[in-house]
Structure 1
């Protein structure tokens, strides 16, 4: 089938979500045919509305926990709710999406001999004892905690990817994605950037958990998408896992202060108890990404936050 056309055909699962919709747009810009797959659990038609008229873009409503039969050259497997509020709402389905979804997409890749990339997560490191986190670290994860449906689901997906590679010779890529933000984030996804911006724009108290001194590293979505595309296009022996994220570390309190400043908000800070298994620190070591992909983020936090704030302001005024 693939000999009939020189245009690369790319499947993006979770393509109507925050990250997936940005990836679909970038792939279209590169001249690829894009099949966007999503069950719309957290994805929205609004995220992909500007692409629906493109002749090289196709949207299919489908759940990756069921088999899929299409002809494609590459697969970006992004399907899975990624925020604690969404993935803890139906934890059994979250695990199924990560594990059954991986099995089904790997089976598809095997059938059509496609290269496949797994969007894994920094959550595989859990509440880390190693800082910053590098890919050789095996993590410190609570396998029976409230976050385990996502943490262990993604860890199992990585296992499946490597076993398909070893057993069937499948061309795989595994990216471990750290905190990413930008336009099209869901306003109610419970993540700190979207939470803080929404609360600041409404002049509501900004909710911080614990003492606000836990750290995170924030990567702007355009930089992250560039990393995913570079990883997919890398030589076959560059498999991963490879950390993709911004190595500049901020406390959650510093982020809140910056967002209050940029929005001109009158919000104060409200402190709440720390959720179960919430990691104290999260910072990627991106040495492998620099060496193997010639990649590192270029968007400063303030620049990215301004674009994200503009998006939410326009969304609220629409």
Structure 2
């Protein structure tokens, strides 16, 4: 009989976290794992077979109680309390709520012998404006927001804890994800544009819409995460994106094919927004052979999700 492993999922009530839970539940390859979600907010609609705990992962007493109860072997860290834009409003809150909270988590992991953490970093924010065709993991990072600085600093502490305490990490620098279970009105232009069109509202676009970025369908992201988990990939920092760029105006025109009512208001760009980037995914491709969902098909599926959510 195979012993089940317990995974602590931070950010399980968020966009990517909910997709991780959905994939986990429908994939029989991971029946030997239990997922326990720690969330700062109570989740009224809960998934069967997923355990939910309410609390802040910055609170050591809460973490002590959870690690004592569940004996976690892995942590999936998908949580963040800020966005690139909001992080500059109160940098101390960004540091306390994300950086120091993660160090608290790492100390508890060390204390209880949990030696694996998956961390979702940012494929745009940590690099900053690079003006390169593609950005590899070897590029020097130069963030333009507190959000990016904190993400990068957490990465460095993960490497430090691996060297000093043997806690294995997997850092994924993720491109702009979109797809089902997205709810934010502050980040994620594809979902927000679709939602605005369905509500007959105007979408605000920073700049003139010519900015081109790497976008990743969240279904693909989650499949990649679990492929890495299954293959036992550790102690690497990996770009996870589509390896392709899509100009925002062209994305909006694609959405208009399905939702002609979409209206756009172009406003001044924000200094915290990385305007153009495409991730070099050569390392990711060397580790797994992956076939991405076609971009227009991903857009269509996202529209179907947003329609269902509003009905």
- TM-score with structure 2 length normalisation? 0.88
Question: Deviation of residue 314 (structure 1)?
Answer: 1.8
Contact 1:227 1:295 in 2 (8 A): no
Contact 1:208 1:272 in 2 (8 A): yes
Who is 2:308 aligned against?
314
Q: Is residue 104 of structure 2 the alignment partner of residue 104 of structure 1?
A: yes
CA distance in 2, matches of 1:173, 1:215: 27
Who is 1:214 aligned against?
211
1:52-201 map, 5 Å: 53-54=48-49, 57-67=50-60, 68-69=63-64, 70=67, 71-81=71-81, 83-84=83-84, 87=87, 91-110=91-110, 111-122=112-123, 123-142=125-144, 147-148=145-146, 150-201=147-198
Contact 1:64 1:79 in 2 (8 A): no
Moved more, 83-92 or 182-191: 83-92
Q: 1:45 aligns with which of 40, 43, 46?
A: 43
CA distance in 2, matches of 1:154, 1:136: 16
CA distance in 1, matches of 2:265, 2:129: 24
Contact 1:201 1:313 in 2 (8 A): yes
Structure 2 stretches of 5 or more lacking a match? none
Contact 1:23 1:225 in 2 (8 A): yes
Q: Alpha-carbon deviations, 1:120-162, whole Å to 9, x = none?
A: 11111112243311100122223xxxx31x1111011001000
Going from structure 1 to structure 2, the CA distance change for 1:130 and 1:240 (only over 3 Å counts) comes to farther
Contact 2:81 2:98 in 1 (8 A): no
3-state secondary structure, aligned to 1:125 = coil
Question: What RMSD, in angstroms, separates the aligned Cα atoms of the two structures?
Answer: 2.2
Question: Deviation of residue 279 (structure 1)?
Answer: 1.4
Structure 1 stretches of 5 or more lacking a match? none
Question: Deviation of residue 84 (structure 1)?
Answer: 4.1
Question: Deviation of residue 166 (structure 1)?
Answer: 0.9
- TM-score with structure 1 length normalisation? 0.86
Contact 1:125 1:137 in 2 (8 A): yes
Who is 1:289 aligned against?
284
CA distance in 1, matches of 2:105, 2:229: 16
